[in-house]
A = this chain, B = another copy of it.
Amino acid sequence: MKIIVDAMGGDNSIEATVNGSIEAVRESDLEIVLIGKKDLIEKELNKSNYDGDRIEVIHTEEVITNNDSPTLAIRRKKDSSMVVGFNKLNEGYGEAFISTGNTGSLLAGGLFLIKRIKGIDRAAISSLYPTRNGMTLLLDMGANVDCKPEYLKQFAIMGSTYSEKVLGISSPTVGLVNVGTEKEKGNMLVKESYELLSNSDINFYGNIEARDIPEGIVDVMVCDGFVGNVILKLTEGIANLFFSTLKEEFTKKASSKFAALMLKPQLKSFKERFDYREYGGAPLLGIKKPVIKAHGSSDAFAIKNAIKQAKIFTEKKVIDKIEENINKY
């Protein structure tokens, strides 16, 4: 199986994508197509002494940055690593595509160049949210800031299909993010979505309050992209604040510094529990091919995991299954 990787997207993209690809081919029988500035990619491959033949490099001149207008960039930057990656995916040169780049462009590219699955009104970006019990798939995390109830039902179908096939959860529960657990709670969107979800074949858990999100009481959570984006970014912000404040408190005095040093393994293990890198990337759901958005600050480890995730995404024929379920549920 061949996975296409955009080498030009993220903060430390080339180093991370090249090394993540090397680790992935070493640990599996995958082939990787790296797309981006050939000289920079090859420099990195040489630095890591890679001399195998399962990593191919395709040269592109242009780069889509986070400052680009998402849709315009996809239309105009025809020789960007992202657009070429999508085209290669579309023509079947590889099975799946991974990029750390501009999320809006990746979504636009998925919609314009790969197209939506029949029966799906909106593609969603989903994310694996780390909880006390492992992880919950959250969607939409920002692609659709204004939603209709039908979209949320479709997110639920796509999310539970992905959760079952890629994460291996049988009959995953789906929760609807709401301001209370009672059936009659919520805004207009959520109340109508509740009805739709209740009357479907989805394993609908009911409403889930934000307080319970970190507890991981459901396998999949659905909400509109505005709320999903707030959930994801707020979690990131709180984690940043907590870790830096903790560090500040622990290094105030020499004695506390010493005690904190003794606790280093525990602090590390604590941090790792909430490490997004473990969980690969955010699958774009609703389009006709497997596309994964990897975090902008992904390192090699995160990229390797995203590649492995793309492999399962492809192998398990998630997209065929979504198309099947969308008409059935």
The number of times this chain is found in the oligomer is: 2
Residue-by-residue, is A188-214 near B (CB-CB < 8 Å gives 1, otherwise 0)? 101000000000000000000111111
Cβ of A131: which chain B residues have Cβ within 8 Å of it?
241
Q: How far is the CB of A147 from chain B (nearest CB, A)?
A: 9
Q: Is the CB of A241 within 8 A of B132?
A: yes
| Interface check A252, CB cutoff 8 A | yes
| Interface check A170, CB cutoff 8 A | no
Known: A145-B179, A259-B259, A262-B259. Is A214-B230 also a contact (CB below 8 A)?
no
User: Of B186, B215, B239, B266, which one neighbours A145 at CB under 8 angstroms?
Assistant: B186
**Interfacial residues of chain A within 244-302, with CB under 8 A of chain B in the complex:** 245-246, 249-250, 252, 255-256, 258-260, 262-263, 265-267, 269-270, 273
Residue-by-residue, is A223-248 near B (CB-CB < 8 Å gives 1, otherwise 0)? 01111011111111111111001100
Which of A131, A177, A245, A263 is most buried by chain B, counting CB atoms within 10 A of its CB?
A: A263
User: Of B226, B237, B252, which one neighbours A266 at CB under 8 angstroms?
Assistant: B252
Q: Is the CB of A266 within 8 A of B256?
A: yes
Q: Is the CB of A263 within 8 A of B266?
A: no
| Interface check A159, CB cutoff 8 A | no
| Interface check A94, CB cutoff 8 A | no
Q: Is the CB of A236 within 8 A of B256?
A: no
Q: Is the interface of A mostly helix, strand, loop or mixed?
A: helix
User: Of B212, B230, B245, which one neighbours A179 at CB under 8 angstroms?
Assistant: B230
Cα separation A34 to B146 with both chains bound (whole Å): 46
Q: How far is the CB of A72 from chain B (nearest CB, A)?
A: 13
| Interface check A85, CB cutoff 8 A | no
Cβ of A187: which chain B residues have Cβ within 8 Å of it?
145-146, 224, 226
| Interface check A142, CB cutoff 8 A | yes
User: Of B179, B242, B263, which one neighbours A250 at CB under 8 angstroms?
Assistant: B263
Cβ of A236: which chain B residues have Cβ within 8 Å of it?
211
Q: Is the CB of A235 within 8 A of B238?
A: yes
Cβ of A252: which chain B residues have Cβ within 8 Å of it?
266
Cβ of A245: which chain B residues have Cβ within 8 Å of it?
132, 270, 273
User: Of B146, B179, B215, B269, which one neighbours A226 at CB under 8 angstroms?
Assistant: B179
User: Of B209, B213, B270, which one neighbours A246 at CB under 8 angstroms?
Assistant: B270
Q: Is the CB of B238 within 8 A of A266?
A: no
**A–B pairs, 16, beta carbons within 8 Å:** A132-B241, A146-B188, A177-B230, A179-B225, A186-B226, A187-B226, A210-B229, A210-B237, A211-B233, A212-B237, A214-B238, A238-B238, A246-B270, A249-B269, A256-B263, A258-B262
Residues of A within 8 A of B (CB): 131-132, 142, 145-146, 177, 179, 186-188, 190, 209-215, 224-227, 229-242, 245-246, 249-250, 252, 255-256, 258-260, 262-263, 265-267, 269-270, 273
Q: Beyond the given A179-B233, A238-B238, could you list 5 further A-B residue pairs with CB under 8 A, ordered by the A residue number?
A: A179-B229, A213-B234, A214-B241, A230-B231, A245-B273
Question: 4 closest Cβ contacts across the A-B interface?
Answer: A210-B233, A259-B262, A210-B234, A145-B187
